[in-house]
């Protein structure tokens, strides 16, 4: 067997029977740094050394062998995710790691995780009762975590970015039609949550934004409302958190229907506060229970859908009031940029992609408006063309 050249690494058998490989990875603080690999068979350690040499030649950093995928993901969640995202998002990430990623991939060495293993994990989870959307989220969380591992020099490449996530068909939006929206407003007249439904429909607040709205955020004299917080439930407890994105923090001019509903609601709430006496909980929330505590989303949804059944309207989610707001605005010719600002979308492409079903109607209206402007000239041109046609 020929002797290996300089910087090609060395392979030898240890006294305990295991095979070892050693690779020179440079100098640090005047000391030579070496990377060692261990395995039970020579072929295994040869494969590790070959991979390390290839990475070294392409300028990739040497990677450690001991840390597992599960160990890394837990450290990443605590060190990177928890300080940078909203509490509910952190809980969601943690659940995906605990329930799916760790059981299937957690014991694999982080440095040895390959694209085939990730693809096999995604395919296997798709064959279970797990939805394609959840599998897609698992892939996104793993890819995000491995991006951080790549930046830390723990891996040579992000193998999750080399595999295909399942495609999830976009759910068709089913908002109220203009006639249905008017019927809904009539149906909620006198309901204790009439103002909540009216505001959600009129300006498209997210559920958490509406539930976290405080009276200090509303100026009825000026006719404005400012979104400063969102209400989330973390471990069953309501918590006010920052809005979803920077653009979610916004000030909206209220239409008359919302102002009128909020003024009535303010009077009713003052009566409830007096009736509750010492039992009133002072959260200063605009929309709350009769004792001042935050609303429970499931209870609101049940109440909302009970109204829909009573008046024969389609069964919608509370979030579909937001979709209805956007659809009605776009259908009335409101510029998508303004709709984006009202909804608090981070990009106009999100607005256009989400409500693309409205675009054909908008195009027809554009053509109609152009005809209104140029129509008389078109008729004149047609008449001239007829008169100049040879007999």
Instruction: Give the separation between CA 208 and CA 310, rounded to whole angstroms.
Output: 26
Task: Write down the pLDDT at residue 338.
Answer: 92
Task: Write down the pLDDT at residue 2.
Answer: 46
Query: Residues with Cβ < 8 Å from 256, sequence gap 6 or more?
Result: none
Task: Write down the pLDDT at residue 365.
Answer: 64
Report the topology of domain 69-162: DNA polymerase; domain 1 (1.10.150)
| pTM for this predicted structure | 0.69
Task: Write down the pLDDT at residue 378.
Answer: 57
User: What is the layout of strands, in order, in the sheet containing 19-28?
Assistant: 10-13, 19-28, 31-39
Phi, psi of 91 (to 5 degrees): -60, -40
Task: Write down the pLDDT at residue 367.
Answer: 63
Mean pLDDT by 10 residues, the chain (391 residues): 56 87 73 76 85 72 72 94 90 95 95 93 87 93 95 88 84 86 94 96 95 97 96 88 89 95 96 94 93 95 96 95 91 88 88 74 63 63 59 56
Domain residue ranges in the chain: 10-57, 69-162, 178-331
β-strands 19-28, 10-13 pairing: antiparallel
Q: Which segments of 133-236 are extended strands (E)?
A: 218-219, 224-227, 230-234
Q: Which one, of 248, 173, 269, lies nearest residue 205 by Cα?
A: 248
Phi, psi of 348 (to 5 degrees): -70, -25
Chain position carrying tokens 């009439």: 194
Task: Write down the pLDDT at residue 373.
Answer: 67
Determine the CATH number of domain 178-331.
1.10.443.10
Burial class (CB in 10 A: 0-12, 13-18, 19+), 14: exposed
**Residue-wise burial string across 339-357, b where 16 or more C-beta atoms lie within 10 A, e elsewhere:** bbbbbbbeeeeebbebbee
């Amino acid at each position: 067997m020929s002797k290996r050249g300089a910087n090609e690494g060395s392979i030898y058998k240890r006294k305990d029977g295991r095979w070892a490989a050693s690779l020179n990875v440079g100098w640090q603080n005047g000391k030579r740094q070496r990377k060692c690999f261990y395995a039970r068979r020579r072929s295994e350690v040869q494969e590790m050394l070959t991979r390390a040499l290839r990475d070294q030649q392409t300028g990739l950093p040497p990677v450690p062998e001991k840390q597992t995928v599960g160990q890394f993901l837990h450290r990443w969640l605590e060190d990177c995710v928890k300080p940078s995202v909203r509490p509910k998002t952190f809980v969601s990430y943690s659940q995906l790691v605990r329930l799916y990623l760790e059981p299937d991939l957690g014991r694999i060495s982080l440095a040895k995780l390959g694209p085939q293993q990730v693809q096999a994990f995604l395919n296997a989870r798709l064959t279970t009762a797990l939805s394609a959307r959840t599998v897609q989220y698992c892939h996104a969380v793993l890819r995000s975590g491995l991006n951080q591992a790549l930046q830390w020099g723990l891996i040579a490449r992000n193998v999750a970015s080399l595999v295909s996530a399942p495609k999830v068909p976009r759910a068709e939006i089913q908002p109220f039609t203009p006639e249905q929206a008017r019927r809904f407003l009539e149906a909620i007249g006198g309901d204790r949550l009439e103002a909540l439904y009216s505001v959600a429909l009129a300006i498209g607040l997210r559920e958490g934004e509406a539930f976290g709205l405080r009276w200090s955020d509303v100026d009825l004299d000026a006719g404005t409302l400012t979104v400063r917080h969102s209400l989330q439930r973390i471990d069953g407890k309501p918590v006010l958190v920052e809005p979803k994105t920077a653009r979610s923090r916004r000030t909206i001019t209220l239409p008359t229907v919302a102002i009128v509903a909020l003024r009535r609601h303010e009077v009713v709430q003052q009566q409830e506060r007096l009736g509750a006496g010492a039992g009133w909980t002072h959260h200063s929330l605009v929309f709350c229970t009769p004792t001042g505590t935050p609303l429970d989303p499931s209870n609101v949804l049940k109440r909302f859908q009970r109204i829909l059944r009573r008046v024969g309207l389609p069964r919608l989610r509370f979030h579909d009031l937001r979709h209805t707001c956007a659809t009605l605005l776009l259908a009335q010719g409101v510029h998508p940029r303004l709709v984006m600002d009202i909804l608090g979308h981070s990009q106009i492409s999100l607005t256009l992609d989400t409500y693309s079903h409205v675009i054909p109607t908008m195009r027809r209206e554009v053509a109609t408006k152009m005809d209104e402007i140029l129509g008389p000239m078109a008729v004149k041109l047609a008449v001239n063309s007829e008169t100049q046609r040879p007999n």
